[in-house]
Structure 1
């Protein structure tokens, strides 16, 4: 695809529901929290729900679903705010991020920091509803949340750090319900981390041209033309880890059928991937919402 045919890859579309429905004062903060782009929220929620189901060996209590769902929403939003603060000088030069509130000057850093403090305070308030052990597990993820935005400056593996932080709720689900984090739960989490390395590398190929020019690092830049093979390998490790981890936590036979469906879906994604087409990379990144749904559905089937 030549440069003139390159599609508009901006992740903010002027004239969307934020511009149509919200007053101007709220729009930058809504975008800062990524409420207009909820794909990251779903990619955080579904693995967490899968862990809640597995730890409960059935449908979890509504109270637990609400607390963990709110926690995923708030921490994902806070992580996005931290990321935009750290990357504000780069985002204006990247096609996908050039319209973000800080990069485009809609708000300043002081306002963003105050908004971040409010997000973290709301997230911290949820800890009062959790056990002491789960609170400790939750606090342990904070270094990853703050380190991630800086990783692309010194390592090609920011996707691994993001994957560890993004899916931390899976470990918290087990600590809250079971009072421990068994080996099978750790394998499920590691499978989610490798899955995220895969799909976030797909996402990184959208930015690979701009990131290279800015001197930033990512797994997409590291893998280069071998990205399709590497992504397929990470997806294969994810299916293997989820399969073994599910067996270790007592999932029944229908869970194996669910894993087969997940494997087919991830295999289709890998086959469809075209590293030279950022528009396809972006659509395949979004397709991982279905992967999360399938994982949660497999977990529920495995408890029958």
Structure 2
């Protein structure tokens, strides 16, 4: 039998390429972006912006997966968890994966065009950071920090779309959110520590060494404290504090998952991290709904 006959249909390969069956990735981007929309609008921002930023987040995360898989295809061959990705396994050509990513990014840009000039301008910066991240691990000791900027850039864009300006509050929120990304992506890097060391790429888990667990918890603490301070500055009350408290409770649970550095525990902590972001968003939305 021809080996090509055993390959999955093209649509199945494309869905695998963009991690369609693993929504945790785009949820990690979505919750802080939606929280920023509510904070920027000081309440419900309207269905137009909610739809634009939700669909845009899904599309851009999917496009990022295409770019990342092409950039990392030689590394991914040596990692058991990633060896069967469509580009790495040869089921999809790199050029085809990039074409899929380009179409998805173009669709996201069409959505941005329905906002305002400032948001459109910032979208080019967001795209540039997304393109740079896959190559950061070759140059930067903690490439998760670059990912943190990329995964947090929906925050200033939300302010741009809502207020037609990007105030200091937006950048402080981005800085705080960056530490959340550092926390959960270090957990992710802890899963592949041995493979990454063998391959020779740089990650925060390798850079932190035996201080990785302490580092993850410190990153979580900075994130929660930063968003608590910013929420207090914005006049948010007990619903927001409750959301942060629920997020903090999950962080304590994650410590139990990662403290022995087991692959399964670290991967589970990473995979469930979107619930931390959801708790913060739910607290933000509930605060404006209940107290305004």
TM-score, L = length of structure 2: 0.93
- Structure 2 CA distance for aligned equivalents of residues 110 and 290 of structure 1: 35
Which whole-Å deviations, capped at 9, do the CAs of 1:76-133 have from their partners, x for residues lacking one? 0111111001011111110110110011110111211221221121111112101101
Tell me the equivalent position of 1:145. 130
Counterpart mapping for 1:132-211 below 5 A? 132-211=117-196
**Equivalent residue in structure 2 for 1:55, among 27, 40, 45:** 40
Counterpart mapping for 1:144-293 below 5 A? 144-293=129-278
- Structure 1 CA distance for aligned equivalents of residues 262 and 40 of structure 2: 40
Q: Does 1:71 align with 2:53?
A: no
Q: Report if the CA contact (8 A) 1:52-1:174 is conserved.
A: yes
Tell me the equivalent position of 1:20. none
Change (3 A) 1:196 1:275: farther
- Structure 2 CA distance for aligned equivalents of residues 255 and 276 of structure 1: 32
Q: Matched residue of 1:141: which SS?
A: helix
Q: Which stretch shows the higher mean deviation, 240-249 or 220-229?
A: 240-249
Q: What is the aligned length?
A: 283
Q: Report if the CA contact (8 A) 2:257-2:268 is conserved.
A: no
How far did 1:275 drift? 4.5
Counterpart mapping for 1:14-163 below 5 A? 24-163=9-148
How far did 1:260 drift? 2.3
Q: Report if the CA contact (8 A) 1:255-1:299 is conserved.
A: yes
Q: Report if the CA contact (8 A) 2:87-2:93 is conserved.
A: yes
Which whole-Å deviations, capped at 9, do the CAs of 1:6-39 have from their partners, x for residues lacking one? xxxxxxxxxxxxxxxxx71111111111112111
Q: What is the CA RMSD across the aligned residues, in angstroms?
A: 1.6
- Structure 1 CA distance for aligned equivalents of residues 86 and 195 of structure 2: 19
- Structure 2 CA distance for aligned equivalents of residues 188 and 247 of structure 1: 13
TM-score, L = length of structure 1: 0.89
Q: Matched residue of 1:241: which SS?
A: helix
Which whole-Å deviations, capped at 9, do the CAs of 1:173-225 have from their partners, x for residues lacking one? 11111222222222222111100100100011111110100001100011112
- Structure 1 stretches of 4+ moved >6 Å: none
- Structure 1 CA distance for aligned equivalents of residues 81 and 57 of structure 2: 24
Q: Report if the CA contact (8 A) 1:187-1:244 is conserved.
A: no
- Structure 1 CA distance for aligned equivalents of residues 243 and 62 of structure 2: 30
Higher helix share: 2
Q: Matched residue of 1:155: which SS?
A: coil
How far did 1:171 drift? 1.2
Q: Does 1:298 align with 2:290?
A: no
Q: Which stretch shows the higher mean deviation, 256-265 or 198-207?
A: 256-265
